[in-house]
Amino acid sequence: MTGDILANMHAPEDVKRLSGDELDALCAQIRDTLVDFGKRHGGHIGSNLGLVEASVALHRVFESPFDKIVFDVSHQSYVHKMLTGRAPAFRDPSLFDTVTGFTNPDESEHDLFVLGHTGTSISLACGLAKERDMRRAAGLAPQTNNVVAVIGDGALSSGVAFEGLNNAAEQGGNLIVVFNDNEMSIADNHGGMYATLAEMRASHGRCAMNLFRAFGLDYRYVEDGNDVHALVRAFEDVKDIDHPIVLHIHTTKGLGMDAEDAAHGIREGRCEANHWQPPMSDADKPLGARKYYGQLAMEALERRFDAEPGLVVISPATPGSNGITQRFRANAGAHYVDTGITEEHAVAFAAGIAQAGGRPVVATSATFFQRTFDQLQQEVAINGEPVTLLSFGGGVSDADNTHSGAFDITMFGNIPGLRCLAPTSRRMFLDMLAWSTSPANTTPTLIRVPGAAILDAERAGLLDADATAKPQRTDADAPWSGYRIAHDGRDVAVLGLGNAYPTAKAVVDALADSGKNDGGIDATLIDPLQFSTLDERTLTALASRHDVVVTLEDAQLEGGWGQKVTAFYANEMPDARMHVLNFGADKEFTDRTPLAELDSRYGMTVEAIVARIRGLPRTA
């Protein structure tokens, strides 16, 4: 086979027919495709470049899908997708968005799970192997032969990975853990085990200190994990093995990045920027909301470090995406801790700092905080520790189905004792952060970092970035517990929580404009500021001059904040006969659906909201 080898890769069987030289050529073509795809489309390019040879060797040796391959996180599965019939999706720009950036069973029988969070591959592999062994013991034909988990060194810091290793050693039977050691997580690796891994690499796997043998697991080491032929031999050696084994392969993350291309400017190897590569067309775009507000937060905290030894920022391994720059990390010193991919530990660790008198700040994605629900409830909330949680990426978005932040309000807002703030301006955000990390705050506080809707409105001059919030109550121990009345009208009150506030403001403006011929509607505009409690005083006062209350939230409606407002009027003020309209997201997983399409689906557009309000029967 000559020429465009990748074009002829339609299934794993095609890889098995290649000669040795053709394997090398295939790897080179895949690497070129990844680099070009990254420039045009963006994606997790660094991790995939490091795993090109391993992915080719896996499909050369194993018999997917009878042999089950589980990619941890699965953001490094692009090569696997190319080899299982989906190469055009990485080569033809018109097909770029036809596959996800993660494994997905809806795309292929070779993808076993939808995965986007880290550390779970070994546990999943244990489950696959257990079912196979139980069928064999019962005399039934198994649906699985070899079980292979592919996990990186960054993912290994996740506690669930160690739980999986512990279970695998006792369970026994065929289970192959391919440990991809590229000496890099998303940012640098952090944790005591990495010194041991360095010693294991330096000794070619022969040192006395061996992380995996300590669990009772068999172990082998491959120094050149980017040599496809060495990997083919290694995989052939462990194929059909009758006990669990860890195959430790040493690779280079981002291998093949064209650093000489100034427009690209991302290096191969230990370079944080090559983990997620934006398309070149994004190079001149201003910072997005996560990095913009994250950098503002870190700059504000950094100014206090010298005077406040207990002020500590904690990040579970995803600092750059949240505006925690390398400059900040260097300047922060001991005031910054990267715990590795350990959200559960990070929150419990923060509770310990708070108990000792410090003021910890845990910064990560709303979707990653889901992994630490137990610690949020137990170690933090039950104990009343003054931990500050900065939640990035909350709300409805066009993210893939494993990274949607649309469920954050239902999760955080129902934890007793956790104050949940939703600032709607840059100034409010910084004021809330300053308060929550000060001695004046004695309770756990979550701040929902403003999203793109707020930032775009600020940049467009539609919202005042320096707007402050004067609490409606005078209780100094609970600032921002009362709702902010931005415009005092009558008949209709529109409450826009957090990122939904710009839409609420636009609805109020549209109600005034759209009905000018018949006097219009001078609606009240309210910024709730928080979603952990209801401001019953304000809600009660609305009943005297309003007969319609409208709630907007960019999150799951069912079990969320707006329905609590409805329940308040139904249960506490039934005689008011308040008509309440709730707007929010359906209870569903969405996968890379454009935000405009979601807004239309959920009736969250200004036009749809105004139409529903004006369509209500009005009382005299």
CATH of the domain at 400: 3.40.50.970
pLDDT at residue 548, as a whole number: 97
What CATH number corresponds to the domain at position 498?
Answer: 3.40.50.920
Q: Which residues of the chain have pLDDT under 70?
A: 1-2, 184-189, 258-274, 276, 470-477, 514-519, 618-620
Residues 264 and 235: beta-carbon distance below 8 Å: no
> Does 324 share its domain with 456?
yes
> Does 24 share its domain with 147?
yes
- Number of structural domains (the chain) is 3
Residue 6 within any structural domain of the chain: no
Task: Give the range of the structural domain holding residue 449, as residue numbers without chain letter.
Answer: 289-460
Report CA 25 to chain centroid distance, whole Å. Answer: 35
Give Cβ neighbours of residue 3 (< 8 Å, ≥ 6 apart).
none
> Does 40 share its domain with 92?
yes
pLDDT at residue 517, as a whole number: 60
Residues 295 and 455: beta-carbon distance below 8 Å: no
Residue 350 within any structural domain of the chain: yes
pLDDT at residue 183, as a whole number: 84
> Does 240 share its domain with 307?
no
Give the residues across from 448 on adjacent strands.
391
Cα dist from 131 to 122, 124, 137, 140, 239, whole Å = 14, 11, 10, 11, 19
Residue 476 within any structural domain of the chain: no
pLDDT at residue 620, as a whole number: 47
User: Two tokens at 284?
Assistant: 């001149």
pLDDT at residue 187, as a whole number: 61
> Does 369 share its domain with 235?
no
pLDDT at residue 279, as a whole number: 81
- Rounded to a whole number of angstroms, the distance between the first and last alpha carbons of the chain is 81
> Does 256 share its domain with 316?
no
The dihedrals phi and psi of 382, each to the nearest 5 degrees, come to: -60, -35
Residue 284 within any structural domain of the chain: no
Residue 561 within any structural domain of the chain: yes
218, 241, 274 — which closes off a domain?
Answer: 274
> Does 527 share its domain with 577?
yes
**E-strand spans in 386-483?**
388-392, 419-421, 445-448
> Does 26 share its domain with 62?
yes
pLDDT at residue 262, as a whole number: 39
SS3 string, 20-32, reads: HHHHHHHHHHHHH
Q: How does 312-328 read in b/e, with b if 16+ C-beta sit within 10 Å?
A: bbbbbbbbbbbbbbeeb
pLDDT at residue 193, as a whole number: 87
402, 428, 460 — which closes off a domain?
Answer: 460
